[in-house]
Structure 1
Amino acid sequence: MRLAAVLVLSLSTAGPALAASADWRADARRADVRRLERLDEAWTTALAEARAQGQGRALTRLGVLADPRVSLPRPQPTPGAYRCRTVKIGSPNGGPGLVTYGWFRCRVALSPGGDLTLEKVTGSQRQAGNLYPEAPRRLVFLGAVAWGSGEGRAQYGRDAERDQIGVFERIGADRYRLTLPWPHQESTLDLLELRR
């Protein structure tokens, strides 16, 4: 009964979303597919850039969040409210090698069409998009980012500069990580950590 109530609540609070096809590659732009194909390179480059700026200890304190090898079974999050924070690693333009933001609010929901969606609902950079099944230990995220408090929810495919692609994984009990390689702004790799 409790799960049914959560599902009904998530359906009623889900915002409009682009309906997902069965395969994320069918919905993704070619440039975004290439970005995701270079995920391992983004991790290696970002961690090296952060360490070159003396951020090795700070990376160690992040634990499994900053460890690309951690990916647990059952990556599908339960719909509902989550605390979330963004960690930006590496800087292609000589900026800070590591930036960790405070906690905001995120939401996982089922769209009316049955798609699993993720949305960061507070903060100045707010991602929103679909989570696609891809492998036993990961989902693929296709979404977009809204900037500033006055903008509504962003949608994938409307503006290539706002489009995001990434991998969603479970990294602990009720703890998840969205990894966004080669974002268009500020960093080499963005992590969005979600916790219950």
Structure 2
Amino acid sequence: MQSSRLGLAVCVLFALPGCGKDGGVDRASAPDRAPGWQRVASAADRDRIARWRSAWIAGLDKARSSNPQQVAAQGALLQPDMAIDDPALPVGDYRCRVIKLGAQTKGLLDYIAYPYFTCRVTADAAGLRFAKLDGSQRPVGMIYPDEGRRMIFLGAMSLGDEARPLPYGRDTERDMAGIVERIGPQRWRIAFPYPRWESTIDVFELIPKGV
């Protein structure tokens, strides 16, 4: 009771913002401490990120059953829990490829490894931007800070000869949400759990050009 009266006195004396009728701080007006990506991401994409491990294990199990040697040859790239410190991607061009694990539907392959393409990381006042520059499917979007040894990618898929990428949130069928991690001195990955098409999880490998 005494602390509540003291809070009320402070509010009255200094007219502090955020003071509620009970003399304490109004929780509704307290600053949102959630990472920036969570305020941008849709509920569906927050759910996909939250269930990343289930997607990874399910996709990896299917891929191992059908292509055990190819999966083993990728080393840390396809293994969960291999992230190391400093996940932020340096600005520059990268050799990038995608490996799809675990078919969503019958008739599709459980392991598909594509050749290397070119990806680019740039930076501006808004933060880090990632874009795949060639190929028929090209993720483009922002990379946001997160807790621990990861960052979060939120973007959209550009298709075919489209010249202008869609902004995130414009088309839910194109939206992409992924986890960015560093897995070696000059090696990164972006894992996309439960992508819209084909696979259970997609893993992008990123290696700086010239390495």
Classify the TM-score, shorter chain: 0.7 to 0.9
The one of 95, 114, 127 aligned to 2:139? 127
**What pairs with 1:1-196 in structure 2 (closer than 5 Å)?**
23-52=36-65, 54-94=66-106, 95-111=108-124, 113-196=125-208
Structure 2 unmatched runs, 5+: 1-33
Secondary structure of the 1:185 match is coil
Counterpart-to-counterpart distance in 1, 2:165 and 2:59: 28
Question: Is the 8 Å Cα contact of residues 179 and 190 (structure 1) preserved in structure 2?
Answer: yes
TM-score by length of 2: 0.79
Deviation, 1:151, is 4.2
Deviation, 1:49, is 1.5
Runs ≥4 residues deviating over 3 A: none
Counterpart-to-counterpart distance in 1, 2:164 and 2:138: 9
> 1:77-104 CA deviation, whole Å, 9 max, x = no partner?
1101111001111112021001000010
Question: Is the 8 Å Cα contact of residues 81 and 108 (structure 1) preserved in structure 2?
Answer: yes
Deviation, 1:114, is 3.5
> 1:99-128 CA deviation, whole Å, 9 max, x = no partner?
0000100000113x2411111111111001
Structure 1 unmatched runs, 5+: 1-20
- Matched length: 174
Counterpart-to-counterpart distance in 1, 2:177 and 2:73: 26
Secondary structure of the 2:60 match is helix
Higher relative contact order by CA 8 Å / sep ≥ 6: 1 or 2? 1
Aligned-CA RMSD value: 1.4
Deviation, 1:22, is 5.9
Counterpart-to-counterpart distance in 1, 2:167 and 2:90: 22
Structure having the higher Rg: 2
TM-score by length of 1: 0.85
Amino acid aligned to 2:189: R
> 1:46-88 CA deviation, whole Å, 9 max, x = no partner?
0112123x21111101111111121010001110111100111
